[in-house]
A and B are shown apart, each in its own frame.
Chain A
Amino acid sequence: MRNSAWPGSTSGIQEYTGTWDTPQVVHLLKRTVFGATVADVNYFKGMTMSQAVDEILTPTAAPTTQPLNNYGADVTGVAPWATWIGTGLLYQDQDLNGSRVASMQLWWLGQMLAGGRSIHEKMTLFWHNHFATDAITDHLGDTPAQLWYNQYLTLRTNALGNFQAMVKAITIDPAMLIFLNGSTNVNTSPNENYGRELQELYTEGKGVNSLYTQTDVHNAARVLTGHTVDASYNYVFQAGNHDQADKQFSAYYGNHVVTGYSGVAGAGELDDLLGMLLGTDECAKFICRKIYNFFIYYVDDATVESNVIVPLASVFRSSGYSITAVLSTLFKSQHFYDLVYAGACLIKSPLDFLLGLAREFNLAIPTDAQSQYNAWGLLFNQAQILQQAVLNIPVVAGWYPYYESPTYHELWINSVTYPQRNYYTDLLMTTGDMMNGTTLVVDPVAFTQTLPNPSDPVALVSDALSILLTVPVSTNDQQLMMRTILLTNQTNNAYWTQAWQAYVATPSDMNAYSTVFTRLQAFYKYVMDLPEYHLS
C-alpha cells in the first residue's frame, strides 16, 4: 500500500498545459498502446498533446483478416490456412473447437500486435477483461469458436463508443448468453447468473456505495428472461419465455419499476433496465475506477477518488456515457502527466510486457500465414505462462491484478513470473525464441539505428533508456552502463564512436558488425533484466 501523499495525487482532470516532449509522449504511449516505438514517439512529438491524444483515441478499421486453420486436419473440410469463420459453426467436436479457439487466441494477439498508434486494441482488451470470459474451461463443448470471434468484434465495435450500447451488445452477445447462462434464463425458473454479474461486475461494482440488493439481482434476471440463442447460435428473444410482470427495484435504483410487456415488446425492457443501471452515481464511478486501475494505477485513496474519479464520472454521465470522452479527459489531464514526474508506477501486464517489447524493438513478424501464426504463438505461449491469455480469463471478475485488492498489478509479478520474464528477454536478446523454423529475435543494431545519435555512447544510452525505461536513471548509472558495456571498460568514448562509424561505413564487415552487435546486445539485455523494466 502506498502512502497517499505523492506528487500528482492532488491534481485533477484539468487539461495539462506543461512540457510536451519525449518523457510525456513515451508515458502516453506506454499506457495507451502496447509500447512506445521510436517512430511513434517522433510522430507524436510533432503534435500538440491534445492532438496526440485525439489521434490515439481515433478508432481504427476492423481487422481485414479472420482466424485461420493453423491446426491441420478439419473434418468439416476447412483447408489448412483457410479461415474457419463462417464454416461449421455448429460443429461440436471439442477437440476441433479447441483448436479453433486456440487459433482465435493467436489471431487476437496478432490484432493487438498490429494495433499501431491507436488505443483501439488495448481498449478492446480492457473490455475483454471487464466482461471477462473463458472460452476453454468447461466451454469447448457448448460454445462454438465462431461465437468468440463474434464477441471480439462486439467488444471491438463498441470499445470506443457508448457504454450503454456496449453493455447492451454484450448482454445479448451469444457467447456471453451461453457463458453466464442467459440462454437458459426463463420466466418459469429465472437464472440469476447474468443478472448478478451485470450489476456486480459490469455496471455497479461492489464498492461501499453500491447498494443494490439480492431482490435487484433477481428482478434483473426476470427482465432478461427470454433473451437467448437459437439452434444456430444466433441471438433471439423468445417472448414465450419472458416474464411479463413489472419488476420493482430497490431504493438504490430510486425504486424504479421496469414495466413488464408481453410479446416482442418484452425485449425492450432491457433498455429500461440498462438506463436504470447506468443512471446511478455509482455506475459511472465504478467504470472510471476500472479505467483508472487499468491505465493509470490502482485507486486506494480518497484524494484520487475526489480529484479524478468523481469528476471523470461526471464527464462520463454528462457525455451520455461516451467512453472516448472519459479517456480523452483522463489522458489529457494534469493528473496523468504528473505521473511522468512522479515516475513509472504501473507494472506492465504480460501483454504490455510482451507486445510492448515486440513493438519497441520492432521484432520481425513474418507475413506468410504459417510463420505468422508461429510468431504469434511464441508470444502467446509466453503470455499464457505469464498469466494473461485472452479468452482464458480465470474468473468472471477479470484477471486478478485488475481487481484484487490491495496489491492489484503486483500480482503479475511473482517468484515464477519474474524469472520467466527475465528468461524470455534474455532469450529474445540472444538466440531468439523459435517454433517450427520461425524465430523471434531482437536486432539490437537495427533498434539502435533508429536512435538520433548512436555514434555518441552517452546519447545512445540516454536515448535508448528514454524509450525503454520510464523510471529516471541517474547519470551515474547511465555512465556505468556506457562504460562497462558499450565501452567494455575502456575509458575513451571515442572507441565506441569509431566502432559505430566503422559499422555504418561498412555494414557488411563482420568484424565491425560483431563489435557493435555484441555490445548493444549486452546493453539491452542488461536494461531488460532490470526490475525497473517491468514498470511503465
Chain B
Amino acid sequence: MQRRTFFKTTAPMAAVFPALLGGFNIKAYAGALPFFGGWDGAADNDHVLVLIQMFGGNDGLNTVIPIDLYSNYNALRNNIAIPEGSILKLGPNDKSGLHPAMTGLQSLYNNDQLAVIQGVCYPSPDESHFRATDIWLTGANSDQYLNTGWVGRFLGQTYTNYPVGYPNAAMPDPLAIQIGSVLSPTFMSSGGNTAMAVPEDADFYGLINGLTSPEPNTPMGTEVTYLRTIARQTNKYAGVIKAAYDKVTQQYAGYPANNDLAQQLKTCARLIAGGLKTKVYMVNMGGFDTHGGQVVAGATTTGYHTQLLGQLSDAITAFMKDLKFLGQDKRVLGMTFSEFGRRIVSNGSLGTDHGAGQPVFVFGDAAATGILGTTPDLPSTMDVEAVIPMQYDFRSVYSSILRDWFCVPPSDVSTMLLANYQYLPFIKSTACNNTIDDLNNIGNNLILNYPNPFIDSTNITFVTNGGHTLVQVFDVAGHLISVLVDQVYPTSGTYTITFTTTNLAAGIYYARLQNESATQVKTMLKVTK
C-alpha cells in the first residue's frame, strides 16, 4: 500500500485533486480511488484496526513494570515482583520496562512500532468482570448502560443506514469481523450487529455461527443439513470472506505453535491481505484472572502469567512479521485491552485481585512509540484495596484511534463516543495528517501537593499550558471524589488550590491533572492526627 508515500510526496492535497479529476464529481470516485483515504474519513481509507481482548483482567503492573519506582513496586508486591534486572528496557526509557516474557513487544518498541499508554481506566471503575467488560466494549460511563458498542457506533455512522443496502460496491465486505463464534457487543450499532463471526480454523464453508453436531442419516439430519446449507448460502458475506481467504496462499511461517491468539491473528492477516475492506477485527485470549499462582514462588519470572504474556507478545510479533511479509504492515493498527487491571498490592496466594487502571498497548507502523503517561505513583506502603488510578480515560484512547487512524473528524468522533474525550498522541501524525502535541517534553511535575501526607487539607499546585484544564480527585478505589478545576485558561500559568478533606477517610487519594492532551496523576496521603 502506497498511500502514505503518496501523502509524503504529493502536497498539498487540495491543490492536486481538481487537476487529477478533471472536473468530475469527487464523490463519484469515493471508494474507487484509494488515495482519497485519510481525507474523506474512515469509509475511504484502507486502515484496519485489530482489537485484542484479554479476558480476566490483566495484571498491568507486572506487564509494564516500574523502573523509576522499583523499590516501592517490589515492596508492595514482593511475592510476585519481577526482579529489576529481568525487566526488559524500552529504548532509552528509564521509567518502565516490559515483563521478561515480552521480548517480542520490546523489539516492536525498539523498532518504532509500539506505544504504551499507562493507567487507562474510567471514573469509578467497576471490579465485576462482566460489568467492566460491558463498559469497555460499549464505551459507557460506569453508571451508564448502552445497547450499542463503540465500534458499532463508529461503523454504523460511517456506513450510513447499515445494514440496509449492504453489501454494496463501495463496501462489499463485512464492516467488522469477530474471530470466534459469538459476536462481541462492541460491534452493535443501532441498525444491528456490524460484525460477522468467523472461526479461526479455516473451514470457511462452515463459517456460519453454529453447532458442531453431525448431521445423521435421519429426518433430523436431512433437515439440519438443509437449513445449514441455506444459512451458508444466504450469508451475504460468506463468499467474499472465502474468496479473500483463498486468495492468500503463503503467510509468514514463524507463527508460534500452540498459541490460540496467534492462530486468530494469522486468520486476520490472511483476510486483510486477501483484500477485505473490513475495518475492524476482534480477537481474544483468556486466562488473565490471576487471583492465585500467577508466578512460581521464588521464581517470579516463570509461571502462568509469564506464559500468558509470552503468548500475547509472541502472537503480536508474528502477526506484525506476517503483515510485513504480506505487504499489509502500513494498513494495520492493533490495540490490546482487558476489562480491568489488577490490584497494586499482591495477595497471599501469589496472585492479584480485581483492580482498575491498566496499560494499553498500541502496535503497528503507525504507533507513536513511547510510553504515554507516567509510572503509576506508588508509595512505599498501600492499602490492599488500592488500584491503579486513571490517567487516561479508555474512551480517550478510542477517540484518538477514530481521529488519528480512521481519520474521523473530531465532531463525528464525539457523536460516536457520546461525549468529548481527551485527544491523545499515540498514533503518528502521518496516518491522518493530523497535528498533535508532542507530550515527550511536558515535564514531570505538572501537579504537586503540599503538605503530603496531610491531615485535613492540602494545597494542590498545577501547571497549565492554557486551554481546557481539569483537576480531579479520586479515592484509592478510583471513585471520583471531587472536581477541583474544570475550566479554560486563556494562557499558561501555575495555580494553587486547596483540597479540603474534613469528611473523608484517611488513606490514599489521587489528584489528576488533565490539560488538553497532557495528563499527570499525583498520589496524596491523608492521615489522621
Q: Which residues of A contact B (CB under 8 A)?
A: 1-3, 5-7, 297, 339, 342-347, 409-410, 413-415, 418-419, 423, 426, 430-431, 471-474, 476-477, 480-481, 484-485, 488-492, 495, 499, 510-511, 514-515, 518-519, 522, 526, 529-532, 534-535
**With A418-B230, A419-B234, A515-B134 as contacts: A529 and B220 at CB distance below 8 Å:** no
- Cβ 8 A contact of B227, one of A515, A519, A535: A535
Chain A CB within 8 A of B24 CB: no
Chain B: minimal CB distance from A300 (Å): 10
Chain A CB within 8 A of B489 CB: no
Whether A472 contacts B145 by the Cβ 8 Å rule is no
Q: List 24 A-B contacts (CB under 8 A).
A: A2-B218, A6-B217, A297-B219, A339-B219, A342-B219, A345-B222, A409-B223, A413-B226, A418-B231, A418-B234, A419-B234, A426-B192, A430-B192, A431-B147, A490-B286, A491-B286, A499-B130, A511-B128, A511-B131, A514-B131, A526-B209, A532-B211, A532-B224, A532-B227
Chain A CB within 8 A of B56 CB: yes
Chain A CB within 8 A of B445 CB: no
Chain A: minimal CB distance from B331 (Å): 28
Q: How far is the CA of A431 from the CA of B192 in the complex (A)?
A: 9
Whether B185 contacts A6 by the Cβ 8 Å rule is no
**With A485-B182, A514-B145, A515-B134 as contacts: A471 and B128 at CB distance below 8 Å:** no
Chain A CB within 8 A of B92 CB: no
- Cβ 8 A contact of B223, one of A410, A419, A473: A410
Chain A: minimal CB distance from B484 (Å): 28
- Cβ 8 A contact of B216, one of A343, A515, A518, A526: A343
Chain A: minimal CB distance from B334 (Å): 19
Whether B211 contacts A535 by the Cβ 8 Å rule is no
- Cβ 8 A contact of A473, one of B56, B126, B211, B233: B211
- Cβ 8 A contact of A476, one of B129, B193, B212, B227: B212
Q: How far is the CA of A352 from the CA of B208 in the complex (A)?
A: 24
Chain A: minimal CB distance from B237 (Å): 12
Q: How far is the CA of A485 from the CA of B178 in the complex (A)?
A: 14
Chain A: minimal CB distance from B123 (Å): 15
Chain A CB within 8 A of B210 CB: yes
Whether B213 contacts A534 by the Cβ 8 Å rule is no
Residues of B within 8 A of A477 (CB): 211-213
Contact mask B114-145 → A, CB, 8 Å, 1/0? Answer: 00000000000010111101100000000101
Residues of A within 8 A of B192 (CB): 423, 426, 430
What 7 A-B pairs are tightest by C-beta distance, nearest first?
A343-B220, A345-B219, A531-B227, A489-B55, A6-B218, A515-B130, A2-B222
Residues of B within 8 A of A347 (CB): 223, 226-227
- Cβ 8 A contact of A531, one of B129, B131, B182, B228: B228
**With A343-B216, A410-B223, A489-B55 as contacts: A495 and B210 at CB distance below 8 Å:** no
Residues of B within 8 A of A530 (CB): 209-211
Interface residues of B in 186-241 (CB under 8 A from A): 188, 192-193, 208-213, 216-224, 226-228, 230-231, 233-234, 236
Whether B220 contacts A342 by the Cβ 8 Å rule is yes
Whether A490 contacts B231 by the Cβ 8 Å rule is no
Chain A CB within 8 A of B391 CB: no
Contact mask B13-44 → A, CB, 8 Å, 1/0? Answer: 00000000000000000000000000000000
Chain A CB within 8 A of B327 CB: no
Chain B: minimal CB distance from A441 (Å): 12
Residues of A within 8 A of B213 (CB): 471-474, 477
Given A418-B227, A522-B185, A531-B228, 7 more pairs with CB closer than 8 A: A1-B222, A474-B211, A490-B130, A495-B130, A514-B131, A522-B183, A532-B211
Chain A: minimal CB distance from B336 (Å): 15
**With A342-B220, A343-B221, A426-B192 as contacts: A499 and B182 at CB distance below 8 Å:** no
Contact mask B151-186 → A, CB, 8 Å, 1/0? Answer: 000000000000000000000000000001111010
Chain A CB within 8 A of B313 CB: no
Q: How far is the CA of A410 from the CA of B224 in the complex (A)?
A: 11
In the complex, what residue of chain A is closest to B233 when comparing beta carbons? Answer: A415
Q: How far is the CA of A290 from the CA of B25 in the complex (A)?
A: 62
Whether A491 contacts B287 by the Cβ 8 Å rule is yes
Chain B: minimal CB distance from A447 (Å): 18
Q: How far is the CA of A195 from the CA of B484 in the complex (A)?
A: 91
Whether A342 contacts B218 by the Cβ 8 Å rule is yes
- Cβ 8 A contact of A510, one of B145, B220, B223, B284: B145
Q: How far is the CA of A477 from the CA of B438 in the complex (A)?
A: 50
Chain A: minimal CB distance from B353 (Å): 13
Chain B: minimal CB distance from A462 (Å): 14
Chain A CB within 8 A of B314 CB: no
Q: How far is the CA of A474 from the CA of B214 in the complex (A)?
A: 10
Chain A CB within 8 A of B475 CB: no
Chain B: minimal CB distance from A461 (Å): 13
Whether A490 contacts B55 by the Cβ 8 Å rule is yes
Residues of A within 8 A of B59 (CB): none
Chain A CB within 8 A of B289 CB: yes
**With A3-B217, A343-B218, A484-B180 as contacts: A534 and B209 at CB distance below 8 Å:** no
Q: How far is the CA of A1 from the CA of B223 in the complex (A)?
A: 10
In the complex, what residue of chain A is closest to B131 when comparing beta carbons? Answer: A515
Residues of B within 8 A of A510 (CB): 143, 145
Whether B182 contacts A484 by the Cβ 8 Å rule is yes
**With A518-B185, A532-B211 as contacts: A490 and B289 at CB distance below 8 Å:** yes
**With A342-B219, A529-B209 as contacts: A488 and B129 at CB distance below 8 Å:** yes
Chain B: minimal CB distance from A419 (Å): 5
Residues of B within 8 A of A471 (CB): 211, 213, 220, 224
Q: How far is the CA of A342 from the CA of B221 in the complex (A)?
A: 9
In the complex, what residue of chain B is closest to A473 when comparing beta carbons? Answer: B211
Residues of A within 8 A of B287 (CB): 491
Residues of A within 8 A of B133 (CB): 488
In the complex, what residue of chain B is closest to A474 when comparing beta carbons? Answer: B213
**With A474-B211, A489-B286, A511-B126 as contacts: A531 and B231 at CB distance below 8 Å:** yes
Whether B130 contacts A415 by the Cβ 8 Å rule is no
In the complex, what residue of chain A is closest to B142 when comparing beta carbons? Answer: A511
In the complex, what residue of chain B is closest to A3 when comparing beta carbons? Answer: B217
Chain A: minimal CB distance from B207 (Å): 13
Residues of B within 8 A of A514 (CB): 131, 134, 145
Whether B227 contacts A489 by the Cβ 8 Å rule is no
Chain B: minimal CB distance from A386 (Å): 14
Residues of A within 8 A of B193 (CB): 426
Q: How far is the CA of A473 from the CA of B213 in the complex (A)?
A: 7
Residues of A within 8 A of B224 (CB): 343, 471, 531-532, 535
Residues of B within 8 A of A489 (CB): 55-56, 284, 286
Q: How far is the CA of A38 from the CA of B138 in the complex (A)?
A: 33
Residues of B within 8 A of A5 (CB): 217
Q: How far is the CA of A82 from the CA of B243 in the complex (A)?
A: 59
Residues of A within 8 A of B234 (CB): 415, 418-419
Residues of B within 8 A of A473 (CB): 211, 213
Residues of B within 8 A of A1 (CB): 222
Whether B230 contacts A518 by the Cβ 8 Å rule is no
**With A345-B222, A518-B185, A530-B211 as contacts: A491 and B289 at CB distance below 8 Å:** yes
Q: How far is the CA of A2 from the CA of B215 in the complex (A)?
A: 12
In the complex, what residue of chain B is closest to A407 when comparing beta carbons? Answer: B226
Whether B227 contacts A474 by the Cβ 8 Å rule is no
Chain A: minimal CB distance from B233 (Å): 6
- Cβ 8 A contact of B220, one of A3, A522, A535: A535
In the complex, what residue of chain A is closest to B56 when comparing beta carbons? Answer: A490
Chain A: minimal CB distance from B113 (Å): 27
Residues of A within 8 A of B228 (CB): 531
Q: How far is the CA of A1 from the CA of B145 in the complex (A)?
A: 49
In the complex, what residue of chain A is closest to B55 when comparing beta carbons? Answer: A489
Residues of B within 8 A of A484 (CB): 180-182
Q: How far is the CA of A347 from the CA of B286 in the complex (A)?
A: 38
Residues of B within 8 A of A418 (CB): 227, 230-231, 234
In the complex, what residue of chain B is closest to A416 when comparing beta carbons? Answer: B234
